[in-house]
Chain A
């Protein structure tokens, strides 16, 4: 009798444990710019079992960048939108989009760089006076950094909206514009083949290091309805970043395999992203961002910083 009872209890316990392990909470994350170093943290974390440990099953949808990612959350096709230009987010929230910023995604512009064709007479930003310089879309982080670079080097290039990285590359290589924008690992192949030269980087403007340019956003419904899941997800995100920078060789290898690039390019990419730049908290430079949002018409009227803190942020999980 005792053995049967204990067997029964054992069976029930096993089912309970097994059941709990199977009952992972599903989180849908929309992520822009597939495969960039700073957007691969979640896949890296999934691979390392970090999200599983938090009881989270992540379903990633890759989009083509900021505004598209936001739309996924706004239309309830995703719970979180990762890597969105902060100006766009401020604009959307101010117009009633049901979103909240849950963390910073990229502070400063260490990843951005501008390049020219190898045979171009331009050697650095100082030679860009009056020449055409590309950025993605008006009000984007690339727009801001292009302006910041121009101010810093005291030149007046002709700024042109060139769209995404492949569109920009076409325009540079065909001679339609002089300098185009990019982030690692894109166009590194052209650099190593000697077909293009890098003439400017985001790190050339030190003041940018105090400004968060991209943020992670969550749907209000998700934050109120499944708050504990949201908290565990953000913990997983934070821990994934910690893991990546604690295990650089593994992370670099994962990146190389994911993007089908050489380990050398992968390592170069890793070196472009200092850990401080991708720290999820704090979100820096809010005052500056609000001013720029107003200037670029994302905000219809000025939003005081105190109000902004309440309206924009909901740090459901914040390490330290």
Chain B
């Protein structure tokens, strides 16, 4: 048995064991089913969610917003990151600010966006955009900075123009790292958007959790939360796989 298969099975077995243990403690009355829904109710709750249209459409809504936010982040962030490299004095001046912005809790500012944009997609996508644009800018600049000088020297020795040097040498060399930035941006956008949907009761998957909680449908709430965890992991894994596939080296 391959090691991968062994660990996967072990992981699944572990999850099953936890589920059984939870079920037992809930049935024994040590934990109230009003606090933790018994795992045996999850499947039915999930089926009910699916039937009521609370799975596929919200999923597409959330993913759609994440892609929109990342696309906007790419349109703004890549040129910005490129410019920070092209004008090193700007790059040096802004680098600590952008680094600080990366660590800053921008999502905490969302009530301001609520006031300005209202309770709608504009707010959720804007928060997603803010979360995504910073890693895109940082990684883009890093990408261009990381272009080997040798390559550029070769290009200049062929008397290539500025624009041609960028287009034919710098940019292609920078693409893999730029893609890493986009990948990070997409994950951050997705996570922040789900969080926003929960906070403002609007949109896709995040809203479902909030709605089930307020409707007091606890098993459905747990089903929705687990769905989000699964979606988060799938996205992470898929994007990582995509990147290794795109980077043959």
Given contacts A162-B119, A163-B200, A163-B201, are A170 and B114 in contact (CB under 8 A)? yes
Whether the Cβ atoms of B119 and A163 lie closer than 8 Å is yes
Partner of A167, one of B34, B119, B215: B119
A138 to chain B, nearest CB (A): 8
Q: How far is the CA of A137 from the CA of B202 in the complex (A)?
A: 10
Q: A75: nearest residue on chain B (CB-CB)?
A: B35
Q: Mark A171-199, 1 if CB is under 8 A from B, else 0.
A: 10010100000000000000000000000
Instruction: Write 28 A-B pairs (CB below 8 A) sorted by A numbering.
Output: A67-B213, A67-B214, A67-B215, A67-B216, A68-B214, A70-B216, A71-B214, A74-B34, A88-B216, A91-B215, A91-B216, A95-B217, A137-B214, A139-B215, A162-B119, A163-B119, A163-B200, A163-B202, A167-B114, A167-B118, A170-B115, A170-B118, A170-B119, A171-B119, A176-B118, A176-B120, A297-B52, A298-B215
Q: Across the interface, which residues of A come within 8 angstroms of B114, CB to CB?
A: 167, 170
In the assembled complex, A263 has its CB within 8 A of some CB on chain B = no
Q: How far is the CA of A13 from the CA of B42 in the complex (A)?
A: 61
Q: B202: nearest residue on chain A (CB-CB)?
A: A163
Q: A162: nearest residue on chain B (CB-CB)?
A: B119
- Total A-B pairs in contact (CB under 8 Å)? 49
Q: Mark A126-150, 1 if CB is under 8 A from B, else 0.
A: 0000000000010100000000000
B101 to chain A, nearest CB (A): 26
Q: How far is the CA of A234 from the CA of B216 in the complex (A)?
A: 26
Whether the Cβ atoms of A174 and B118 lie closer than 8 Å is yes
Q: Across the interface, which residues of B come within 8 angstroms of A91, CB to CB?
A: 215-216
Q: Mark A250-292, 1 if CB is under 8 A from B, else 0.
A: 0000000000000000000000000000000000000000000
In the assembled complex, A92 has its CB within 8 A of some CB on chain B = yes
Q: A177: nearest residue on chain B (CB-CB)?
A: B118
Given contacts A163-B119, A171-B119, are A98 and B34 in contact (CB under 8 A)? yes
A78 to chain B, nearest CB (A): 16
Given contacts A67-B214, A70-B216, A163-B202, are A97 and B34 in contact (CB under 8 A)? yes
Q: How many residues of B contact A (CB 8 A)?
A: 17
Q: Mark B184-225, 1 if CB is under 8 A from A, else 0.
A: 000000000000000011100000000001111110000000
In the assembled complex, A96 has its CB within 8 A of some CB on chain B = yes
A290 to chain B, nearest CB (A): 17
Q: Across the interface, which residues of A come within 8 angstroms of B115, CB to CB?
A: 166, 170
Q: B119: nearest residue on chain A (CB-CB)?
A: A167
B115 to chain A, nearest CB (A): 6
Most A-side CB within 10 Å, residue of B115, B215, B218: B215
Q: B122: nearest residue on chain A (CB-CB)?
A: A176
Most A-side CB within 10 Å, residue of B33, B200, B214: B214
Given contacts A97-B34, A163-B200, A170-B114, are A92 and B119 in contact (CB under 8 A)? no
Q: How far is the CA of A96 from the CA of B218 in the complex (A)?
A: 10
Q: Across the interface, which residues of B come within 8 angstroms of A174, CB to CB?
A: 118
Most B-side CB within 10 Å, residue of A91, A139, A170: A170
Instruction: List 14 extra interface pairs beyond A67-B215, A95-B217, A137-B201, CB under 8 A.
Output: A67-B213, A67-B216, A74-B34, A98-B34, A163-B119, A163-B201, A166-B115, A167-B118, A170-B114, A170-B118, A171-B118, A171-B119, A174-B118, A298-B215
Q: How far is the CA of A170 from the CA of B112 in the complex (A)?
A: 12
Whether the Cβ atoms of B201 and A95 lie closer than 8 Å is no
Q: Which of A13-62 contact B (CB under 8 A)?
A: none
A121 to chain B, nearest CB (A): 21
A97 to chain B, nearest CB (A): 6
Q: A174: nearest residue on chain B (CB-CB)?
A: B118
Q: Across the interface, which residues of A come within 8 angstroms of B119, CB to CB?
A: 162-163, 167, 170-171
A214 to chain B, nearest CB (A): 15
A293 to chain B, nearest CB (A): 11
Q: A94: nearest residue on chain B (CB-CB)?
A: B216
Q: How far is the CA of A176 from the CA of B119 in the complex (A)?
A: 10
Q: Which of B217-237 contact A (CB under 8 A)?
A: 217-218
Most A-side CB within 10 Å, residue of B114, B216, B218: B216
Q: Mark A293-310, 1 if CB is under 8 A from B, else 0.
A: 000011000000000000
Q: Mark B109-149, 1 if CB is under 8 A from A, else 0.
A: 00000110011100000000000000000000000000000
Given contacts A167-B114, A170-B118, A170-B119, are A92 and B201 in contact (CB under 8 A)? no
Q: Across the interface, which residues of B come within 8 angstroms of A171, CB to CB?
A: 118-120
Q: Across the interface, which residues of B come within 8 angstroms of A74, CB to CB?
A: 34, 216
Q: How far is the CA of A139 from the CA of B211 in the complex (A)?
A: 11
A94 to chain B, nearest CB (A): 9
Q: A175: nearest residue on chain B (CB-CB)?
A: B118
Whether the Cβ atoms of B216 and A92 lie closer than 8 Å is yes
Q: B48: nearest residue on chain A (CB-CB)?
A: A300
Q: How far is the CA of A95 from the CA of B201 in the complex (A)?
A: 22
Q: Mark B40-67, 1 if CB is under 8 A from A, else 0.
A: 0000000000001000000000000000
